[in-house]
Amino acid sequence: MGDTIDTDYIRRAVEYSDLAALRIAIFQATGDEEIGRLGPVATLGEDDKTRLKERCIELIANDLASWTLRTPSDAEINSMLDMVLGKPTSPGDFELRKMVLSFEDFPGFAEWSSPEVEAPEGFHVAIIGGGFNGIATGVQLAQLGIDFTVYERREELGGTWSINRYPDIRVDTLSASYEFSFEKEYPWTEYFARGPEVKGYLHHIAKKFGVMDNVRFGHDLVEARFNDDTKLWHVTFRLGDGSTVSRDVNAIVSAAGLFANPNLPSFPGIEDFGGIVIHPTQWPEGIDLSDKRVAVIGNGSTGVQLLGRVTEMSKHVTMFQRTPQWISPRDKYGKHVEPEITWLTSAVPGYWNWCRITSIMHLFDFDKDFLIRDEEYEKTGGQITAKSDFVRNMLLDYIKTETGGRQDLIDKLIPDYAPMVRRPIVDNGWYRALTRDNVDLVTEDIVRFTDTGIETADGVHHELDVVVSATGFDIVKYLWPAEYFGRNGVNLHEKWEEESPMAYVGMMVPGFPNLFTLYGPNSQPVSGGVALPAWYQMWAGFVARCLIGIIEQGKQTVEVTDEAFREYNEKLVEESQKLIMVTEEASAKKNYYVQNGRMQVNAPWETHDYYRMTSYPDPEAIVFE
């Protein structure tokens, strides 16, 4: 466009934009009264929306060159949040939303109490895993000047985005929210980035923020032993050639990931199958399915993502569904980011920041009330809650629309449990794929594999060449397969097998000082508010605050007390029992996020409460020695 901004280009940018974010960003830059008087975009009629767009176009065309990004005061942020949301922001939510806005350079990260403080020579942290969590922790420690090494068992960074290479793998939240807040205005090419782009993003972050030079690839942690005398962890790694190396470190941050260990199929007779069995984590490069009869087992997030592409690649596909899922649409899923939006993001100060709020605004309204049975409402004939029924009806309509009203499919696709009992799934053309002529949906149980296919409970034999087992991950194998031995040689995995995996705020276990388990047991709140990368930063900040405490107090270890650990987990179980994913019969049988009546991944906390727990470590709960 040269030095002149073309008005038609601006008009297209405004049309493509997140209008709620654009409105408030321009208001922040200009204080324009006309924009300020209009209410939240979601409440505007078409005439007011048109008026708002025209005013945005006019202001960008005439005044853009004079705008600069400044950090607003808390009072200004609070006022503008009210303008965006159309309601006051509670004090608890405000702090979290301010962090999401990311006007600071490194939101959520910890800092030394004084610029003069620095880590002592020889103090070293081992980070296990080079995915999102490991990289976030590396960036945090690099900012503090604390020496660290990221040990990655594979030959590249990326974590789950390196392990999973199946067709059409992508994020299921907007790219604009699935990113670290310390890297501003990253130029994503798709609204929901595909796996290779996410992996490229992580490499970019690692290089830019000083992590890459501290990575050791091909290092698979075998065991870690705490020395009660030296207060150090002795870590041993297996290298690619089978040899081992060891060293002592002051602290360990396990960022091994929740989705690192595939749940491999174990159907009777599978070893006799003469075709190919593929788990999405082991997708063969360049496989040709054009003349193949393919089965897809599983309709969780992975199965839903890959089915559409697999049906296009294959001669015939049989979709084996055990449990129907609630699958929801996402606006702009599969769409490329327009060049005009890339320009708008970099040109309009604050637009990127406010997109971080508006892109997840629906999550702020998703609270625990959605997940707790409303007995008074059910007496009126409703199910669970009014919110739950509203979502159920919306998703039922979506099933009917996407299947073209085919009752033979609809009858098989409606779950017998409420929305949000299981992990929500984003549609990637899954329903439409089922309507293709080369696709069959099978809901009968799998009895056994044969040498030529799969036999189901109705006696039908399905002839197959390839089986894609989208059967998920063994999520309760936290920190697996490495062995961790804490005080007095206690084995962490054996402890968890006896008691069920438990941790304090998902990250600390008594008897295992200076060990932090990122994405550990019950580390993700059930209520909404932020996307996962924000949690990765907050967890990294929690770790750093604990390490800062060790260093600034001249201590050697930090550890959660037995009492705090016990009270925290008792409260967690008590609060969990109120939620439908634990109380509903369907959940206990069909939800792998809940085992033995206990939530495994999620925690029953409100997001802002958990944010405070991780941002301000409780001095009564953890001890420094």
* Of 607, 574, 583, 100, the residue nearest 367 (C-alpha): 607
Higher pLDDT, 265 or 68: 68
Residue pointed to by tokens 């932020």: 530
pLDDT at 34: 94
CB 303 within 8 A of CB 166: no
- C-alpha 279: how far from chain center: 21
Strands of the sheet containing 124-128, edge to edge, are: 215-217, 147-152, 124-128, 251-254, 515-517
Distance between CA atoms of 539 and 108, rounded to whole angstroms?
9
Residue 416: pLDDT above 70? yes
Portion of the chain with pLDDT greater than 70, in percent? 95
Looking at residue 366, what is its pLDDT? 56
Give the total residue count for the chain.
Answer: 625
Q: Tell me what the mean pLDDT of segment 213-217 comes to.
A: 98
Task: Give the three-state DSSP class for 222.
Answer: strand
Q: What is the pLDDT of residue 509?
A: 98
For residue 472, the model assigns a pLDDT of 77
**pLDDT at residue 75 tops 60:** yes
Res 189: pLDDT: 97
Residue 48 has pLDDT above 50, yes or no: yes
Predicted confidence (pLDDT) at residue 476 exceeds the cutoff of 80: no
Q: At what angle do helices 351-358 and 74-85 cross, to 10 degrees?
A: 50
pLDDT value, residue 527: 72
**What is d(CA 90, CA 111) in angstroms, rounded to the nearest whole number?**
26
Q: At residue 125, what are phi and psi to the nearest 5 degrees?
A: -120, 130
Whole-number pLDDT of residue 86:
86
pLDDT of residue 354: 96
Decide if pLDDT at 2 tops 60: no
Mind listing the pLDDT tens digit for each residue in 510-535? Answer: 999 999 999 999 998 887 668 889 99
**Helix/strand/coil (H/E/C) assignment for every residue in 328-394:** ECCCCCCCECCHHHHHHHHHCCCHHHHHHHHCCHHHHCCCHHHHECCHHHHHCCCCCCHHHHHHHHH
Range of lowest pLDDT (154-158, 218-222, 591-595): 591-595
Q: pLDDT class for 367, splitting at 50, 70, 90?
A: low
Among 490, 496, 548, which Cα is nearest to 521's? 496
pLDDT tens string 554-590: 999 999 999 999 999 999 999 988 888 776 555 555 5
Identify the pLDDT of residue 587.
Answer: 54
Mean local confidence (pLDDT), 428-439: 96
For the ranges 120-134, 264-278, 537-551, the lowest mean pLDDT is seen at 264-278
- pLDDT confidence tier of residue 315, bands split at 50, 70 and 90: very high
Cα dihedral angle (230, 490, 542, 150), rounded to 10 degrees? 70
Average pLDDT over residues 387-416: 95
Residues 303 and 469: their CA atoms lie apart, in Å, by 8
Determine the 3-state secondary structure of 309 from DSSP: helix
Closest CA to 535 of 137, 124, 126: 137
Q: Which domains does the chain have, with CATH numbers?
A: 7-89+340-364 (no CATH), 124-260+475-624 (3.50.50.60), 270-326+384-417+419-469 (3.50.50.60)
User: pLDDT at residue 411 above 70?
Assistant: yes
Mean pLDDT of 321-327: 93
Residue 32, phi then psi, degrees to nearest 5? -60, 125
**For 168-208, what is each residue's pLDDT tens digit?**
999 988 998 899 999 999 999 999 999 999 999 999 999 99
To the nearest whole number, what is the mean pLDDT of the chain?
92
Q: Could you report the per-residue pLDDT of 54-69, keeping only the tens digit for each?
A: 999 999 999 999 999 9
With pLDDT > 90 as the criterion, what percentage of the chain qualifies? Answer: 75
Q: Which residue has the tokens 């041993």?
A: 236
CA–CA dist 570, 578 (Å, integer): 13
Q: How far apart are CA 604 and CA 613, in angstroms?
A: 13
- The H or E element spanning position 524 is strand 524-525
Decide: 624 and 553 in contact? Cβ < 8 Å.
yes
pLDDT for the residue numbered 4: 62
* pLDDT bucket at 478, cuts 50 / 70 / 90: confident
Q: Counting Cβ atoms within 10 Å, is residue 3 exposed (0-12), middle (13-18) or buried (19+)?
A: exposed
The stretches of 1-73 forming alpha helices (DSSP H) are 7-16, 19-30, 33-37, 46-63
Grade residue 134 by pLDDT with cuts at 50, 70 and 90: very high
Q: Looking at residue 1, what is its pLDDT?
A: 41
Question: Hey, what are 192's tokens?
Answer: 């929901």
Please tell me the predicted confidence (pLDDT) of residue 248: 99
Residue located via tokens 């602290």: 251
